[in-house]
Chains A and B, each alone.
Chain A
Amino acid sequence: MSLEAPEPATQADVGVTDDGLDYDTLEALLGDVVIDRETHLNAEAFVVQPDRVVDALSVLKNKAGFDHLSCVTAQEYEDRYESIYHLKKFDDPTQEVSVVVPTSVHDPTSQSAESVFRTADWHEREAYDLVGIEYDDHPDLRRILLPETWQGHPLRLDADQEQPQVVPLREHANPLQEDHPGGSDTMFLNIGPHHPATHGVLHLKTTLNGEQVADVESDIGYLHRCEEQMCQQGTYRHQIMPYPDRWDYISAGMLNEWAYARTAEDLADIEVPEYAQVIRTMSAELCRIASHLLALGTFALDIYGDFTAIFMYSIRDREVVQDILEDLTGQRLMFNYFRLGGVAWDLPEPREQFFEKTRDFLDELPSRLEEYHNLVTGNEVLQMRSVDTGVIEPEVAKNYGCTGPVARGSGIDYDLRRDDPYGYYEELDWDVVTEDGCDNFSRLLVRLREVEESGKIIDQCLNLLEEWPEDERTIQSNVPRTIKPDPDTEIYRAVEGAKGELGIYIRSDGTDKPGRFKIRSPCFSNLQSLPEMAEGEFIPDLIAALGSLDIVLGEVDR
């Protein structure tokens, strides 16, 4: 026990009432930092002065218990720039508050939130990169997604969207030139962008001390495809839905689509029929199983070093899920199955055949999982490799905004399906899985056990769908052909994707296309915590930690 005085207990319940948050109390708590109030659809937003960001955020974090900086959105208006800090509580993510920081057009500079929330580091770098807002006291304000030599900021209003910028390789620093930084006896090693274990194009700038990792820095952006901007150029009704499939493309498509569906439906106040919600829930959980199975396979690949039994077994089982999803949606990866207000079509006919196929899979699932537990989690060598490696403590994980299996592997009981319910999850009987090991093994275990829980959910959905009266099978509600939300309506909504909290912020500008579309990718935040897990460990543990994070570069880079 420490002899130091314990930190003053956080009053996590400031302003908490039975009818939701009392924002006036919060405003009083913040005092003169607040210069204005805005109302977003998901929460109230306090407008604060650009040089009081740290004050505002630390009060909200330490005094009011908003310990989760979910996302940082940056955008440009005609007369100002704005950074929005979307805050939540890990204990209850329905309690939200936003902090809006306006800056002038001529000098878009505000204070960095990095000293309060570690996760703000990358989020603010992205804001600087794409929108061009500068953050004072930021430890490392560089571009993050675009190349260093990029001219201008692509999400600014005056950016020339027609003019491509070609960035040739020769304009980049030669990574081989700086072999031994500082002349010490460490070795600089580039892991990636083409390396068997980076699960895509990720570049880890690693400094090694012998075989031990002294420092690791992720270099991302190789797969940046301007997803946010593309969404800003599509209409709400139909043109945006295909894109989410392409963020986390490891068969988690439906989960991503739900993020957009939930946000846009709340924004335009669209009802979703219950029948469609059940189908959504079922298909989303099928996607989660497919995604977790692949995570298991690739993690085993990283530990075993070859396309071994585990990898092939998990691919074999994932294939069954893919077949079911193909029957349901007509697609294997880019489903485009959700529609605003429902889903594209009903279950495939004959329904009995679909039910039987899915049931067969669920019946097989327990024996498959037992096989995995025998082969993987019960294997002493694997335990030797993964227990107590890549450790991330819960407080650190929260500070980095880790969510999903990464957070739950560190004992953080946080799952939006239960804590911020949507779809049909509330009506079903299932559990949130957590493990307290904080290590690579726990994250693996959480995923395997979540597959089990997803199986339970799907089973209940199947029962519901089977018994659903034939004349009440409404798959879509009436949705106007063109959706034009009121100008300057702002909303931030998140769902529990395969990798964690997948959030979307939309500001409408009165047209049928979003004024600003911002994606909060769980992989982006999770990957940021890699140095915490890997530093001081051996290279194999760095690789294992990366595998246990289960990142998809398509979602990190968007």
Chain B
Amino acid sequence: MTISETLAGALGLGAVNPLEDFVLSLVGAALVGTFILLNTAVAGPWAKRKITAAFTDRIAVNRIGPFGLLIIVADAVRMLSKELVIPDGVDRPAFDLAPLVLVASALLGFAVIPMGNGIQLADPTVGLAFLFAVASIASVALVMAGYASNNKYSMLGGLRAVAQNVAYEIPLVVTAMSVVLFTGTLQTSEIVAAQAEPLLQLGALSIPSWYAFVNPFAFVLFLAANMAEVGRNPFDTPEAPTEIVAGFQTEYSSVYFVLAYLGEFIHIFLGGAILATVFLGGPAGPVLPGFVWFTIKIWAFFLFTQWCRSAIPRVRVDQVIEIGWKGMLVLSFANLLLTAVIVGVIV
């Protein structure tokens, strides 16, 4: 069930014609986009500070509004009113487009994510492939930003970003493939549905067959590769403050900076959404409605990234690549083969 059907049902429209379907989808897309942006607005200026502060023995924002929540408004005004500095010699329009592409690619991914309660923009049969495809467009944005900025630090950051994304994209996709072997479909709604069956029955407690439980090894691999994809510690080499200043976003200021940062946060949430969909049963969960569970799951991944950021050192750029090519790639293929054998024998 896609969001246009859900909306039509809610409005009591019954069967919809293509025009109505189009309009309802647009409205749905606006709603989903707003929801995601709302999450990042809370995460970026407020939750991230609060969470990091809790990890590092500080208090963080507490002056404006309850729990300092209005810092979100204050920060938005501050960021938007700052001067937009465009350095000499930047390669326009690539310089201007990069932040937009970064945000758009991450937002696009949410189109095929089933968020529960019938909230899913589209449900193509190639859903998972589409998801990875649009998520990797972000690499293009990073190269654009790194190359167009006319800054050596940006350049280094862009190069690192690409090297890292290429190295971790493959294990990511290959590990997801091992799940596809179970489900036999790339359609995200089907993947979620396949995880609804009970795996174990412990008295009254029924453990669902989430792929995190079915194949925990794949889950851990996917989680690690995902950290590299979203560029967080220990894999935050593309940004690497203290080494290359701010990497690809060194020269971005004001709105462009907001966009670049927004893109990163949406990417973290998208990473969480993919993880939830593929391994954690999507929006499934007891008592609470599916949509709430989905939100909890993506926030759990966000919390996890912040925890790593506070506690784990950054590995060196050559070590990142080494772990990717020599470790993750081999392990992910081993996982795929093993899963294929098991699925072949059992099914």
Contacts and interface: CB of A to CB of B under 8 A. Distances in A.
Given A211-B317, A385-B315, A195 B310 contact: no
Interface of B: 52, 55-58, 152-153, 156, 160, 233-234, 236, 239-245, 309-319
5 contacts: A189-B152, A384-B319, A385-B313, A385-B315, A541-B316
B56 A375 contact: no
A301 interface: yes
Contacts of B56: 307-309, 311-313
Interface in A358-390: 375, 379, 381-382, 384-385
Given A196-B242, A302-B242, A382-B313, A538 B234 contact: no
Nearest to A546: B242
A384 B57 contact: no
A313 B55 CA distance: 10
Of the listed residues A195, A304, A541, the one surrounded by the most CB atoms of chain B closer than 10 A to its CB is A304
A195 B244 CA distance: 9
A298 to B, nearest CB: 10
Nearest to A188: B152
Contacts of B319: 384-385
| Nearest 6 A/B pairs, CB to CB | A312-B56, A197-B242, A196-B242, A382-B313, A381-B313, A303-B313
Interface string A467-491: 0000000000000000000000000
A187 B152 contact: yes
A195 B246 CA distance: 10
A545 to B, nearest CB: 12
A312 B309 CA distance: 14
B156 A305 contact: no
Contacts of A304: 233, 312-314
Nearest to B236: A305
A344 interface: no
A543 interface: yes
Main secondary structure of the interface of B (DSSP, over half): loop
Contacts of A211: 156, 160, 317-318
Given A306-B233, A381-B234, 20 more contacts: A195-B245, A196-B242, A211-B156, A211-B317, A211-B318, A300-B313, A302-B242, A303-B314, A305-B240, A305-B313, A309-B311, A312-B56, A379-B312, A379-B313, A385-B316, A538-B317, A540-B240, A540-B316, A543-B242, A543-B243
A384 B242 CA distance: 18
Contact of A309 (B55, B160, B239, B315): B55
A225 interface: no
Contacts of B58: 312
Nearest to B156: A211
Contact of A540 (B153, B234, B243, B245): B243
A19 to B, nearest CB: 53
Nearest to B152: A189
A51 to B, nearest CB: 45
A305 B312 CA distance: 10
Nearest to A375: B311
B302 to A, nearest CB: 16
A303 B234 CA distance: 10
A311 B311 CA distance: 11
A316 interface: yes
B242 A308 contact: no
A196 B233 CA distance: 18
Of the listed residues B56, B239, B242, the one surrounded by the most CB atoms of chain A closer than 10 A to its CB is B242
Nearest to A541: B316
B301 to A, nearest CB: 19
Of the listed residues A301, A306, A384, the one surrounded by the most CB atoms of chain B closer than 10 A to its CB is A306
Interface string A170-199: 000000000000000001010000011100
A539 interface: yes
A539 B244 contact: yes
Given A309-B56, A311-B56, A538 B241 contact: no
Interface in A101-146: none
Contacts of A541: 316
A305 B242 contact: yes
A381 B243 contact: no
B313 A313 contact: no
Nearest to A381: B313
Contacts of A195: 245
Nearest to B312: A381
Contacts of A302: 242
B243 A308 contact: no
Nearest to B311: A309
Contacts of A307: 52, 56
Nearest to A304: B313
Nearest to A195: B245
A121 to B, nearest CB: 28
B242 to A, nearest CB: 4
A84 to B, nearest CB: 40
Given A196-B245, A301-B242, A308 B315 contact: no
Of the listed residues B153, B244, B315, B318, the one surrounded by the most CB atoms of chain A closer than 10 A to its CB is B244
B310 A308 contact: yes
Contact of A381 (B57, B244, B315, B318): B315
A196 B55 CA distance: 22
B245 A308 contact: no
Contact of A538 (B152, B311, B312, B318): B318
A300 B310 CA distance: 11
A315 B200 CA distance: 49
A373 B121 CA distance: 50
Contacts of B317: 211, 538-540
A375 B56 CA distance: 12
A176 to B, nearest CB: 10
A312 B57 contact: yes
A384 B315 contact: yes
Nearest to A386: B313
A211 B247 CA distance: 13
Contact of B243 (A197, A316, A382): A197
A539 B57 contact: no
A375 B153 CA distance: 30
A440 to B, nearest CB: 12
Contacts of A303: 313-314
Nearest to B323: A384
A138 B121 CA distance: 73
